[in-house]
A and B are shown apart, each in its own frame.
Chain A
Amino acid sequence: MSGAPMLEIDNLTRRFQGLVAVDAVTSHVNAHELVGLIGPNGAGKTTLFNLISGFIAPTEGDIRFEGRSLVGMRPHRIARLGIGRTFQNLRILPNMTVFDNVSIGALGNVGHSAWQALIPGRRMGSRQISESTRDALDQVHLSAQAGELAANLSYGRRKYLEIARALATSPKLLILDEPAAGLNDTETAGLAEFIRGLVRRGLTVLLVEHDMSLVMSICDRVIVLASGAKIADADPATVQRDPAVLDSYLGTTD
């Protein structure tokens, strides 16, 4: 399944006034791979995500996507290169409809201009935006709720709304920040199957997750962070036996 590294993280460090949030992490994500990123609270998982998507700049090191360095690039440029993301604390746009929420992803990818809005008959820009929005909504089975205000969706469905919006950007790499947080076991199982399906259809996924069982059951490879540093990077079975991981994250079994 795997090809050349799609995302390369090279000696990446980020300090916040003395606190080393991400400490010289080197890793990679191959194309068509499903990689899990785990670690205890405060391990630097979300900081790593924000570094990749350009919300914060690294103190040292480099991030390359398909061979291009992302350092110093603004978030919207990174998104247009093909990195779609969701947020840990759901960031849906509550006063907009489900359709309009997802169309934002398509808009970012296809482009948007004020002039397009003024051309008679083409006010909605290209048909491309409507189509990729519909397609993303179909994938998460939210088409029936397209006209609802996003604020009226249930918590579980909002999770899928975020994923649909990221999918509408036509990403090559999808990074999911704790998608299973707050979901019950049945919903988590459904989500696991959904993410697996995305990878089967050729997407590359980087998944930050608290839910160990989810990560261990679906990921091809697991990266473990503790206090900002990488302590393991292997397949799930190996990681589960790794003494360093057991010590710092899973806790010693008694």
Chain B
Amino acid sequence: MSAATAPERSTRPVLPPPVTKGLLAFVVLVAVPATMSAIGGGYLYGIATTALIFIILAASLNLVTGTAGLLSLGHAGFYGIGAYVAAILSTRMGLSFAITLPAAGVVAGAIGVVVALPTMRLVSIYFAVATLGIGQMIYVTLLNWTDFTRGPMGIRGIPPIEILGWQPHSPMQQYMVVALTAMASLWILSRLTHSYFGNALRAVREDDQCASAMGLNVVQLKIVAFGTSCFFAGIAGALLAHTANFISPDQFQFGESINILAMVVVGGLGSLPGAVIGALLLVILPEALRGVGDFRMIAVGSVMFLSILLLPKGLLGEASALGLLRRQFGEAWSGGLGPRVGWR
């Protein structure tokens, strides 16, 4: 498509998108590894890997909560499904990372779609409550299905990343595999967000009844968005399993869902760069404040609180989180046009 017919965008980006993308790729693939190799930090590579995993989680939740406006409180559950699929496939069946990574995404995405089918007709806040319940169900299953998941003991000894016989030998090489996966995920999510498909999701967020009156199949759009989001949560889970080599159910509790949601809200609903920045902030800040002990959690909480208070749309968002919440509560109370409350 030529420049003359390039459509107008919903948000006016701070930097032109190609610059943002180039900058991000340069920082993640060149600047960070170069700096870390220079100061020689294996520990720092660990933090960078965690940051990338949470970037995928925040960016994928952003599609569903930021762009489509569906408050999902169970994202960590799908992250957990991905991690356990990868862990079980690799420890029990000896499958390599090249297979467990897509498998984790597909299983998490498929479970997401199955869960979405009955819940997508729930209005607003009722949907949020349903996802909260689903997240807890996944956590409790991971915890109690001991034959399959080893329960609270977790799964240890997950083989490291291996692609067609090649294994990364240094932390830097391992970091690069995670970084490339994260870049690919961000690329796909960015295409989905900045497209007419993304516009359709935004219309669902702003006013789903209006969207359906314009001919959009709202339920189908929500299912596709939710399934895609869960797919990438599964990918993030597989990356965690193969880089941490140990996973346990408590990593996928409700608190983690809230943590991911906070990244999206701080960065700004609907903004992909915002989700990236939010993830970086909430991963790196607690690490940087490790010196002050448990007070760091108060500091992190204050950052979240102040950002909601002072920046209603987050750092770069296109919609206000409180506004979305207020509208959704309102809708739940009034029930919209339909005769049944909370259901459409």
Asked if A192 lies at the interface with its beta carbon under 8 angstroms from chain B, I say no
Interface string of B319-344 (1 = CB under 8 A from A): 10000000000000000011100000
Interface residue from A74, A105, A121, A122 paired with B212 (Cβ < 8 Å): A74
Give chain B residues whose Cβ lies under 8 Å from the Cβ of A76: 212-218
CB pair B337–A117 under 8 Å, yes or no, is no
| B interface residues, tally (CB under 8 Å) | 40
Interface residue from B8, B10, B191, B212 paired with A79 (Cβ < 8 Å): B212
Asked if A141 lies at the interface with its beta carbon under 8 angstroms from chain B, I say no
Q: Taking each of A84, A130, A146, which has the highest tally of chain B beta carbons within 10 Å of its own beta carbon? A: A130
Give chain B residues whose Cβ lies under 8 Å from the Cβ of A80: 215
CA–CA, A114 and B218, complex, Å:
13
CB pair A105–B214 under 8 Å, yes or no, is yes
Residue of A nearest to B338 (CB): A56
Interface string of A107-123 (1 = CB under 8 A from B): 11100111011100111
CA–CA, A87 and B206, complex, Å:
15
Interface residue from B10, B196, B212 paired with A96 (Cβ < 8 Å): B10
Query: Given A91-B207, A117-B191, A130-B5, A100 and B212 touching (CB < 8 A)?
Result: no
Give chain B residues whose Cβ lies under 8 Å from the Cβ of A93: 202-203, 206-207, 210
Closest Cβ of chain A to B264, distance in Å, is: 16
Interface residue from B1, B213, B270 paired with A53 (Cβ < 8 Å): B213
CA–CA, A84 and B197, complex, Å:
20
Residue of B nearest to A109 (CB): B215
Give chain B residues whose Cβ lies under 8 Å from the Cβ of A100: 8-10, 199, 202
CA–CA, A96 and B269, complex, Å:
13
Residue of A nearest to B219 (CB): A74
CB pair A95–B318 under 8 Å, yes or no, is yes
Asked if A42 lies at the interface with its beta carbon under 8 angstroms from chain B, I say no
CB pair A104–B200 under 8 Å, yes or no, is yes
CB pair B216–A103 under 8 Å, yes or no, is no
CA–CA, A87 and B339, complex, Å:
19
Closest Cβ of chain B to A182, distance in Å, is: 18
